Amino acid sequence: MKAFPFKRVLITGGAGFIGGCLVRRLLRESNSFIFNLDKLGYASDTSGIDQCLHDITNDSAKRYQLLHVDLCDKNSLDHAIELADPDLVIHLAAESHVDRSIDSPKAFLDSNVLGTFNLLESVRSHWQKLPLARKTSFRFHHVSTDEVFGSLGESGRFNEKTSYDPRSPYSASKAASDHLVRAFNHTYDLQIVITNCSNNFGPWQFPEKLIPLVILKALHLESIPLYGDGLNVRDWLYVEDHVEALILVASKGVIGSSYCVGGYGERTNREVVNQICSIMDLRKPVDNLHSELITAVRDRPGHDKRYSIDSSLITSELGWTPKYSFKDALILTIDWYINNVEWCNKVSAKGDYAGGRIGLNKP
């Protein structure tokens, strides 16, 4: 990544799961100054970044700064943008858990819609003041989700031309933010790119998400919840593969374009849970099979049936393909969680999450 063209990079949500992975990659493999703008919410954690800073050289560590700022605080955001003086903004900050959006939708509107609008306004003001050379090379990279496209039937895949059809408060808020970003491109010529990714997984993910939740439930021999019939399908993407795609799109993506990023890891939830249990049988053998812990629970309200992404555009234009198979990445992820239970307990306690069911707040 020595040819990474941006000297000063602002990453929003860099204390989150995907953002933290991106920060660590850029600290290790680029010479950029990294500014991590994060409100440090319930799922935020900087342990992975702190570990990375400890491992790299002192000179590299001086290239990183954490900016504790909420995107809804416009004045603080303006000051942070002025301080960071970025050549590239990668916008990852978002409330992202569908179940929480069912219980508390306003938090998703505040963070994902108002927060994105505030960021666009602050960045636009900054960008318009840049010298011509920096203004021309500037990028605003908005990171979104495949959930904005709605739900698929048994066949077909989402691509860059798929119509938007969000079904949850979370996906609706991300769809709105996508539209805002495109509007700033068309109206103000702000130089944007957008990526829509499939479900990410890997180390350092907050334990409320499906894969870490199942791993930890299996590890503690607790009941493993499986929503409904377990036949809802997701396209799983290892976080390191996603970060590589983000860096490619930020560096080489066509201005005004969007790119769909999927892992070609299409699985039903039941298949994912059973595969985790099978690996846990080998890693942590007990008297009974871990699959005997699987318990059917009431389905999520409005649960989308199937997601699947066609990544052919980013492959043909930028040469990206996922390097990790789902099975290999899942083994790496399971091993990481087995060896980092203390971290899981710490972040769960900080986020007031006890592993219970959320997202049933429907009349």
At 205, is the secondary structure helix, strand, or coil?
A: coil
From the candidates 38, 95, 99, 146, which is the catalytic residue?
Answer: 146
The CA angle 155-161-162, to the nearest 5 degrees, is 45
Calpha distance 74→263 (Å, rounded): 36
At 153, is the secondary structure helix, strand, or coil?
A: coil
At 171, is the secondary structure helix, strand, or coil?
A: helix
**Phi (first) and psi of residue 344, to 5 degrees:** -60, -45
Give the burial class of 20: count Cβ atoms within 10 A of its Cβ; 0-12 exposed, 13-18 middle, 19 or more buried.
Answer: buried
From the candidates 45, 70, 95, 170, which is the catalytic residue?
Answer: 170
Calpha distance 350→358 (Å, rounded): 17
**Residues present in the chain in total:** 363
Reply yes or no on whether 146 is catalytic. Answer: yes
DSSP assignment of 71-104 = TT-HHHHHHHHHHH--SEEEE------HHHHHH-
From the candidates 70, 87, 147, 235, which is the catalytic residue?
Answer: 147
- Nearest CA to 41 out of 243, 239, 208 is that of 208
Helix axes 269-283, 326-338, angle to 10 degrees: 50
β-bridge partners, 259: 195
Task: Name the residues annotated as catalytic.
Answer: 146-147, 170
